[in-house]
Amino acid sequence: MSGAADAEPPAKTRKSGAGNGGGPTHPLIDIHIHQAPDRLQAQGMKGGGRRTEAQFLAHQKAVYAVGGVILGGNDYDYEFMRQEPGRYVRFAAAPAPGGDRAAAIEKALKGGARGIGELRWEGDTPFTRSILDLARDHQVPILFHFQESDHPAAVYAEFYRTIEKYPTVTFIGHAIDWWGAIDRNYSHTGGRYQRGRVTPGGLTDQWLARYPNLHGDLSAQSGNTAILRDPDFAKDFITRHQDKLMFGSDCTCTTGGMPTCWTGIKLVALNFLQLSAEVQRKIYLTNAAKLFNLKTG
């Protein structure tokens, strides 16, 4: 979250949809949200920037989001979830390294979290296996952030072994390596946001085709780069994996408007591809609604 975004007036004082580049056109479910509850923010907890729940709801309204997945929402009490059950689910994440992270995640699952994430992929470690056992036993999806450059043990090319070990677990992939590896020539040593035409046959593309339990989230700058670096490839990729990909933003801004809102930027990028109406409906709304049992209207 940027300081500039912090300085914006509260969204409720702005007109709905103001500054969002002409207005959103698709009802959507955002599967990649970070938002702390007001009560914990008052106690100084970090996460989701300093956006209040009211600002978050105004942001969702401005981008026509009808629901979503609150990552790291753990077993927290959100007023907007109480008001309208069936629109949002909470995922469990261990906020800080240290302590028994798996126990913290298990506690949140027992407290009503309906998934695990977002978590850094750390490789096939005892912690990874313990949380995948939890995902399997609680029958909940798990969302991973892949970034080998930060975690040398987290070798992306080996991730498929874990998918194969847990065939009943629903995996959702996101971030630098996930999107970089749509290209068969991808190496994380080449930088975070690699540009230019995609060489088909990347690991992410192969795995999405091979494993029915693997899904992807379109969030963040990595998702935008993948969409925009080679729009012809992106249109083909999204169309081929139309039943596996879901809209996500990773946006923590307060306004839901352009030009700094990740949700707005992604809508512009996706609209640029001119995907079919059926594909749009799936990736914006119905894939996530089915996976997380959420309302669509």
Q: Which residues bind Zn ion (CB under 5 A)?
A: 250-251, 253, 261, 263
DSSP 65-119: EEEEEETT-TT---HHHHHSTTSEEE-B---SSSS-HHHHHHHHHHTT--SEEEE
- 141 and 171 in contact (C-beta within 8 Å)? yes
Alpha helices in the chain (DSSP H): 3-6, 38-42, 53-62, 79-83, 101-110, 126-138, 159-165, 176-180, 203-210, 220-229, 231-240, 262-272, 277-281, 287-292
Please, what is the minimum distance in Å from the beta carbon of residue 164 to Zn ion?
Answer: 26
Nearest residue to Zn ion on Cβ basis: 261
Q: Which is nearer to Zn ion, 92 or 198 (CB)?
A: 92
Question: Is the Cβ of residue 230 or residue 250 nearer to Zn ion in the bound state?
Answer: 250
Q: What minimum distance in Å lies between the beta carbon of 267 and Zn ion?
A: 10
Cβ closest to Zn ion, residue 49 vs residue 202: 49
Question: Which is it for strands 171-174 and 88-90: parallel, antiparallel or unpaired?
Answer: unpaired
Q: For residues 140 and 251, which CB has a smaller minimum distance to Zn ion in the complex? A: 251
Q: Which of 257, 183, 193 is nearest to 223 (CA)?
A: 193
Shortest spacing between CB 252 and Zn ion, in angstroms: 7
Query: 181 in helix, strand or coil?
Result: coil
Toward Zn ion, which CB reaches closer, 147 or 280?
Answer: 147
Q: How far is the CB of 231 from Zn ion (least distance, A)?
A: 23
Work out how close the CB of 184 gets to Zn ion at its nearest, in angstroms, rounded to a whole number.
26
